[in-house]
Amino acid sequence: MSDRKNFIVLSRDVRKEIEEEIEEGKMVRCVSHLDSDGLSSACILSHALLNKKADFHLSIVKQLSIEVIGALTKEKYETYIFTDLGSGQISQLEERLKGKKVFVLDHHLPEKESEKIRQVNPHFFGIDGEKEISGVGVTYFVIKELLPPENSNEWLVVVGAVGDRQDKGERNSLIGLNREIVRQGEKTRKIKEELDLNLFGRYSRPLHKSLEYTFHPYIPGVSGDETEAVALLKKLGIRLKDEEGNWRRLVDLTAEEKKKLTEEIIRRIAEGETPSKPLDIIATHYINLVEKEERLKDAREFSTILNGCGRLGKPEIGVLLGLSRKREVLEEADKLMVKYRKELAGYLNKLKNSKLVDSRNGIAVIKPQANIKDTMIGTVSSILLTSLKDKGVVIGIAEMNNETYKVSIRAKPELEKLELGKVVREITKKISCFGGGHRKAAGAEIKKEKIGIFLNELMKEINQFQHF
């Protein structure tokens, strides 16, 4: 059997086991990750459990840390489903949830296979969990038969996959199993692909705001800077408002205006000190054809909204947004979105102060003195990496509490052989801390007194692969 087939067969078997738990009337304890992939996973799992009238209890967590696992062991549940996390903590789960029925639906680099835990992870099937399927995709393959057929949630799979930056195909498109799911959504006329400038909020934001809010790719002088965004449009002779005084959006531009804007952005990226490739500005967009709210139509924008909800401490708003369309929730989500983008822009401006970023060889270290929230340090590290030409790795350090630092590590794809997730997991294990992740993105929680050893060990490993 092919790897894909084996993966599907395992997913189906695991689904049957979950169904048995539901039929026995077990209360299902669900735990998912805080980012847009994790929130999307939580949405479709909740949708399936609601559809099957199962009782469940859902928590959204930053990481499956020792403390979180500790808290779970004190609960009286018998059935656990972890989505978009868990594969890095299999030994811990085996040991501390002994005797319980545990399902792990994840795409992070797995620690090991397990006899006691039902783990569905593409990496065991030679499927690239970093590019071809994300946490919500794995969840989808497992529980899709439990969803109401008229609402099979392909859309949320696309949202989670672009949220995890799995759009690594030509023109930033989805590939592998993700693409299969897109095709499925196209067949049922729920999803449409479209090629356009890769600006945030094409359908929903005033154009100058779209420019200001775009960080992927990083547009030198414009990303995070409203005044400069307005100046750029004025210079190009593109009006900000239409005849009726409404803000114009990217989708309102004439072909001529769009061409001018595209050329200018390409020129800026090409001349700027950032590693973005000029053509990164053109991307494949995934549009939800059944959605009426404009700001929820585009998968990238929806994903940013989910991220904003999670990172600003309101993951429940994100989950509700994926499940229903309540007016109050949408307004709350909008407010969070504005706050999220403002915070991001604020942090990035702050990091222009070189005292807060330590530069060594090809590595940039964001010092804890930059005072970045622990929930934002990962996103900030990712964006900083895309804005630095001469750096292969960014290590962001943020204070979690009096004893602990949250550390986020991001590496460029050019450092092919570097497996950050594995490296971080091994170092943290040695120093009795917690950490793991993907090949090019990893995270750790490090006791303050151990940060020196951790950084030394980490840099030693990274330097073997650096050629920056």
Which residues here bind Mn ion, judged by CB under 5 A?
Answer: 37, 84, 134-135, 164
CA dist 14 to 73, 104, 117, 125, Å?
23, 10, 11, 15
Cite the DSSP H helix spans in 324-397: 327-350, 377-387
Q: Shortest Cβ distance from residue 217 to Mn ion (Å)?
A: 21
Q: How does DSSP classify residue 175?
A: -
Distance CA 168, CA 459 (A): 27
Measure the CA dihedral 44/49/53/55, to 10°.
-130
Q: Shortest Cβ distance from residue 247 to Mn ion (Å)?
A: 34
DSSP bridge partners of 194 = 285
State which residue, 84 or 180, has the beta carbon closest to Mn ion: 84
Q: Shortest Cβ distance from residue 376 to Mn ion (Å)?
A: 17
Q: Shortest Cβ distance from residue 110 to Mn ion (Å)?
A: 13
State which residue, 319 or 388, has the beta carbon closest to Mn ion: 319
State which residue, 54 or 133, has the beta carbon closest to Mn ion: 133
Beta strands 282-288 and 191-197 are antiparallel
What is the number of residues in the chain? 468
State which residue, 222 or 411, has the beta carbon closest to Mn ion: 411
Q: Shortest Cβ distance from residue 421 to Mn ion (Å)?
A: 12
Q: Shortest Cβ distance from residue 343 to Mn ion (Å)?
A: 22
State which residue, 125 or 468, has the beta carbon closest to Mn ion: 125
Distance CA 453, CA 438 (A): 22
State which residue, 37 or 225, has the beta carbon closest to Mn ion: 37
Q: What own/partner pairs with CB < 8 Å and gap ≥ 24 does 421-427 have?
A: 421/88, 421/108, 421/109, 422/109, 423/458, 423/461, 423/462, 424/458, 425/88, 425/109, 425/111, 427/454, 427/457, 427/458, 427/461
